[in-house]
Amino acid sequence: LELVELNRSSPYQTDYKMIICAHSKPLKISTCVLIAIKDNGLDMRNDVAIEFEIDSAPMLATLLLKVEEETFLRNTPAQINNPNCWIAMIPFPKLDDRGIRVDSKSDITAAITTFDINVAKIKLNATCVKCTSPRMETLAETWSTDKATEDATE
């Protein structure tokens, strides 16, 4: 696994590679969603628990970072491992009195220029906690099927 790779064609950009969930346990992300509408005779309240299971997800991000040379040269070896010191070296953009960037894209000092993710398998588990809509239970069951998992990651 190569975590950081210098981009020789663009001196301010660095490629970062990472794999999420390369081990036997998938990454699980859970949330609850409440969809409620009460208007003109319609009274709907659907409380749904949603869980995503991600088996493996290699990611590649290219970051553009420009640092001030003078600030960089003043750093001590102990500060090189401190992410806050690196962030402090990025020049602040010129802003107007409302806090909006004054200059165009040519003055960008930090940005994510590319972001790629390839999810090998993502499984959605949806459960109606309390649903008043008759079709919401059916929809939650459909989202949780193996066919839905296959369709989401094809």
Q: Compute mean pLDDT per 10 residues along the chain, 154 residues long, and list them.
A: 55 66 75 90 90 82 80 82 84 83 73 82 90 89 88 76
DSSP state of 55: S
Instruction: State how far the Cα of 46 lies from the Cα of 33, in Å rounded to an integer.
Output: 8
pTM over 0.85: no
> What single-letter amino acid sits at 150?
E
pLDDT at 148: 87
pLDDT at 43: 87
Torsion over CA of 105, 107, 63 and 76, rounded to 10 degrees?
-170
pLDDT digits (tens, 9 = 90+) for 77-90: 888 788 888 888 88
Q: Are 63 and 13 in contact (CB under 8 A)?
A: yes
User: What are 33's strand-pairing partners?
Assistant: 48
Torsion over CA of 128, 130, 132 and 136, rounded to 10 degrees?
-10
For CA atoms 67, 71, 72, 76, the dihedral sign is negative
Beta strand 4-6 pairing with 110-117: unpaired
Beta strand 42-54 pairing with 13-20: unpaired
pLDDT at 127: 92
